[in-house]
Amino acid sequence: MIVDVNGRADAARFVASANCDERPSGEAITLLVLHNISMPPGEFGGDGVVRLFTNELDYDAHPYYRTLVDMRVSAHFLIRRTGELLQFVPCGMRAWHAGVSVWCGRSSCNDYSIGIELEGADDVPYAEAQYRVLAGLAQALRAAYPITDVVGHCDIAPLRKTDPGPSFDWLRFRSSIE
């Protein structure tokens, strides 16, 4: 997999999200943040995540969706349980995935990170295909940017987030990108 000069991964299907903006001038991308998401919670394979990230979610389609009214979020990438890779925001842009966050004393992690969503839940094992695609993506991103750390959303916002959760095998993932 290759990430081109425009910040697009060649293996990803691009679905543009408006939920992004310019990074601060001169800000280097040094952090990968891993998340999990399922919509509705615990249900996989639907179009809820794509619709949320593209502001096309039908808030009446599920009671949970009503809690997301007016929420404008995105991530750079989504890795579905099948291994399908979607990209919503070019890496050079700031996706709105981390919220209020701090890593190593630096706040506003969206400014200097790339957000990768894994279709999943804290307590559901991730699929083999997801680990395989995540490893390839992480390697490509590390080749394209001066990334020094890979963390979970739980690490940068520990009082409000738990993802990617205890079901994520950090040891397996880290050994696949060394």
Return the CATH number at 136. 3.40.80.10
d(CA 75, CA 99) in angstroms, rounded, equals: 11
Kindly state the average pLDDT of the residues 113-138.
98
Residues of the domain holding 43: 13-177
- Exactly one of 22, 56, 84, 117 is catalytic; which is it? 117
Phi, psi dihedrals of residue 53, rounded to the nearest 5°: -70, -20
Mean pLDDT of 58-87: 97
> What's the average model confidence in pLDDT over 64-87?
97
- Asked, for residue 2, whether it belongs to a domain, the answer is no
User: Strand 102-103 relative to strand 106-107: parallel, antiparallel, unpaired?
Assistant: antiparallel
In a domain, 4, yes or no: no
Residue 143 phi, psi (nearest 5): -75, -30
The total number of structural domains that make up the chain: 1
Catalytic annotation present for 117: yes
pTM: 0.97
Return the SS3 of 7: coil
What would the mean pLDDT of 102-124 be, rounded to a whole number?
97
Instruction: Report yes or no on 5 lying in a domain.
Output: no
How many residues does the structure list for the chain?
A: 178
> What is the residue-averaged pLDDT of the chain?
97
Say how far apart CA 17 and CA 74 lie, in whole Å: 7
